[in-house]
Structure 1
Amino acid sequence: MAGVLNRKSNFLFVHVPKTAGKSVEAMLLDLPGSAGVDLSYAEKARGQYATTSYLERRLTRLSAIEKWTGADRHSGRKQAMWAQLYKFCFVRHPVDRAISAYRYCMRNSGDSSYRQPFGQSLPAGLSFAEFIRLPRGYNYEVMNHFQIPQSEYIRCADTAMDFVGKFENLDEDIAAVAEILKLPLPQLERKNVSATDQNEIVPTAADLDLIAQCFAEDFAQFGYRTE
């Protein structure tokens, strides 16, 4: 998981994978005072993506943020600085996110230079139904872009979000954040878009039931319907 910190404009953006986060990151990084942070690098380096503790430990517990504020962000001035940050993120309907993650992971599965070797490579021709049923920890990219619930990424930030926008209302919600923070944000340029295939992916009833079960917290917390 990545993010953008800005002390000048006093915000933290938490990037939830497959919610247009790369596009938002690129836009925010152009602002004076912005710095990008990778909040999961330590876990990737140690291979903890392949263990249950990867989820239980809430990723890095914002170790990158601690470097920014100092070793102990819970002390005095640093705690106040942390509390004053405007924290926001974007989420997406779990079914649409699963389809986007599938296309993204399959598109990059044959690229040996793409963040390898964090787990087994995805076999060619893997179907969507097979993808969403891969065992947890099979591959870092699958974990990062699909298996970890969006609500988990927000919890890993160890703080409440001031604003949770929706991918479905991306332009309007970004405009709302820009107004709150008084930021001169340009038109959003979409990046890392998973191109639609000629063969449309239509999840089966069993697929939808599985996604609803695995991401029940996301459906409930973010107000998405399971139908």
Structure 2
Amino acid sequence: MYVDQTRKLIFIHNPKTAGMSIVRSFGFPSTGFPNKFNHTRPQEAITWIFQQTWTSFYSFCVVRNPWDRLVSLYHFQRSDNYARIAGLNLSHQRARALNFSQWIDVNIGERHKSLWFGVPQSDWSSEVSEAFRYEDLDTSLPRIAATFGLRWDGALENITPHPHYRSLFNSPSHIDFVAQLECQTIARFNYDF
């Protein structure tokens, strides 16, 4: 979660949905207080921080095709960049040691899951003023930028190259797992495999 008190603007950062690009382009502080809560979900923000003032802010988040987002999460957790940020934690070690299908199986079966695995995007998109599709950033973010006197430069960063998600999902049970986990996001934003 990133907050611009002056503009009464809150960005809820759903992992692997161009969040750092939005933070940089819109000029949100990336260190200090906001950074400690960078993936805070709206309900947590309302309960812990904003309480009655939440509705006086415009809040937004971005969601992404759930299958593509999971592939992106896997490849990001495998990356050297993730290791620099998070250290050689369980998420990094697991992603480096396993192929994508094995990674899904292990995370489904284990109590201790890789970071953000199994958390539906609806946790970030509920309670916000607006939620936008990652695939529509070129139209949605310029509108927000214009409304709040900001600039969206369209440059995406923190991208981890990976194959198209359909090429990695080779198990119908994995496709179904994501469909069930993300059923609200799929229905609300018209996603399909």
Fold conserved between structures, TM > 0.5: yes
Name which of structure 1's ranges 203-212 and 89-98 shifts more when overlaid on structure 2: 203-212
| 1:180 equivalent in alignment to 2:180 | no
Listed one character per residue, the Cα deviations across residues 115-171 of structure 1 (whole Å, up to 9, x for unaligned) are 2475463164411111222145534xx332x3211111234xxxx211111110112
Please tell me whether the aligned partners of residues 19 and 90 of structure 1 are also in contact (alpha carbons under 8 angstroms).
yes
TM-score (norm 1): 0.68
Aligned AA for 2:112? Y
Structure 1 counterpart SS, 2:128: coil
| 1:216 equivalent in alignment to 2:187 | no
Larger radius of gyration: 1
Structure 2 counterparts to residues 1-227 of structure 1, below 5 A: 3-29=1-27, 36-39=34-37, 61-62=44-45, 66=49, 73-74=50-51, 79=52, 81-108=53-80, 111=83, 113-116=84-87, 119=90, 121-122=93-94, 124-133=96-105, 134=107, 135=109, 137-139=111-113, 142-144=114-116, 146-155=117-126, 160-181=127-148, 183-196=149-162, 201-206=167-172, 207-225=174-192, 227=193
- For the residues of structure 2 that align with 1:93 and 1:84, how far apart are their CA atoms? 30
Structure 1 residue ranges without an equivalent (≥5): 44-57, 67-72
- For the residues of structure 2 that align with 1:110 and 1:6, how far apart are their CA atoms? 27
Please tell me whether the aligned partners of residues 151 and 221 of structure 1 are also in contact (alpha carbons under 8 angstroms).
no
- For the residues of structure 2 that align with 1:64 and 1:188, how far apart are their CA atoms? 33
- For the residues of structure 1 that align with 2:80 and 2:112, how far apart are their CA atoms? 15
Aligned residues: 185
Change (3 A) 1:11 1:136: farther
The structure in which a higher percent of residues are helix is 2
Please tell me whether the aligned partners of residues 5 and 37 of structure 1 are also in contact (alpha carbons under 8 angstroms).
no
Structure 2 counterpart SS, 1:188: coil
Listed one character per residue, the Cα deviations across residues 13-44 of structure 1 (whole Å, up to 9, x for unaligned) are 0000011111111122258xxx7343279x9x
Identity %: 21
- For the residues of structure 1 that align with 2:82 and 2:61, how far apart are their CA atoms? 30
Change (3 A) 1:153 1:204: same
